[in-house]
Amino acid sequence: MSGTFTPRPGAAPLPRQVLAQARMESRLMLRNGEQLLIAVVIPVIVLVGAVAGSERVGLELDGRPVDIFTPGVLALAVMSTAFTSLAIATGFERRYGVIKRLGASPLPRSGLLAGKVLALLLVELLQLLVVGGVALLLGWEPALGAQALVGAVATAALGTAAFAALGLFVAGVLRAEATLAAANLVYLLLLAGGAVVLPASAYGGFADIVRWLPSGALGGGMRDALIDGQVALLPLAVLAAWAVVGTVLTARTFKWE
């Protein structure tokens, strides 16, 4: 009969499901005060504080403080979102049965992970706009050119993959409260001693060690791209290796409930 409503039950196409999941994940992340603090507020405070305080403490740098610190703070923003925020959110999602319930929806587990990764990229884009905007107001002059862009994007992408895999590993093996403590502790340790904000050369005899940490590789790769305008292959290789290690560990240990 013309005009009669005919139900058409069925799942939406997978790309639409992933986009819907990514939108929900990013909104939840930005609505959470603690997540917003880690993702946006702390990187901005670190940037402004480092630029303002570098001259007072007599820190010897190879260039202007804003040019040295901004790539590292952008790397810190990636680490805060891809590792700390993701680990904490996923840990509590496991505790409250959110992931278990999503497993019963038409969204496959691969789609759930894809939605989380896409949400991370959306939040990181916001971080780039905020941190980059503050840095430009402070007089930041990044390296321009195709190599600088490729180097920065490749480093951010591999850094996201590495820290996201490690974040899911932590969230998958620890209880929610332990994940909260561990993720924040690792974040603070890497912020202070992981060569993410400061160059590895600032750590003296530990320089050869911190370069192999995911934080050191992420910070070093961003500095090579945005200061020297080049694609640094060693940091990219280190990040890729950490991404593989984190993915293998997560695949073997992650518990969905």
**pLDDT on residue 244:** 94
Query: CB–CB of 176/92 below 8 Å?
Result: yes
Helix axes 65-79, 109-137, angle to 10 degrees: 160
pLDDT exceeds 60 at position 233: yes
Name the percent of the chain lying above pLDDT 90. 39
Q: Is 134 helix (H, G, I), strand (E, B) or coil?
A: helix
pLDDT-based confidence at residue 27 (cuts at 50, 70, 90): confident
Nearest to 223 by CA among 137, 174, 139, 159: 159
pLDDT tens-place string over residues 38-88 = 888 889 999 998 888 876 766 667 778 899 999 999 999 999 999 988 888
As a whole number of angstroms, the distance between CA 156 and CA 169 comes to: 20
Mean pLDDT over 160-172 rounds to 91
**Any idea where the domains of the chain sit in the sequence?**
14-253
pLDDT at residue 255, rounded to an integer: 72
Please enumerate in sequence order all residues whose Cβ is within 8 A of that of 53, keeping only pairs 6 or more positions apart, or say none.
Answer: none
How distant, in Å, are the alpha carbons of 139, 220, 254 from that of 142?
Answer: 10, 15, 39
Q: Is it the case that residue 1 has pLDDT exceeding 60?
A: no
DSSP string covering 135-177, please?
HHHTT-----SHHHHHHHHHHHHHHHHHHHHHHHHHHHHS-HH
Q: What pLDDT is attached to residue 89?
A: 85
**Model confidence over 178-187: pLDDT tens digits?**
998 999 999 9
Paired tokens of 196: 């993410």
Q: Is it the case that residue 149 has pLDDT exceeding 90?
A: yes
Q: In this predicted structure, what is the pLDDT of residue 235?
A: 93
Confidence of residue 208 (pLDDT cuts 50, 70, 90): confident
Q: What is the pLDDT of residues 5-22, one digit of tens each?
A: 666 666 667 777 778 878
pLDDT of residue 256: 66
Cα torsion 35, 249, 196, 124 to 10°: value is: -40
- Tokens read off for 2: 């013309």
pTM: 0.87
pLDDT on residue 6 = 65
Q: Are 86 and 32 in contact (CB under 8 A)?
A: no
User: Which structure tokens are listed for 42?
Assistant: 């702390």
pLDDT of residue 71: 93
Segments of the chain assigned E as strands: none
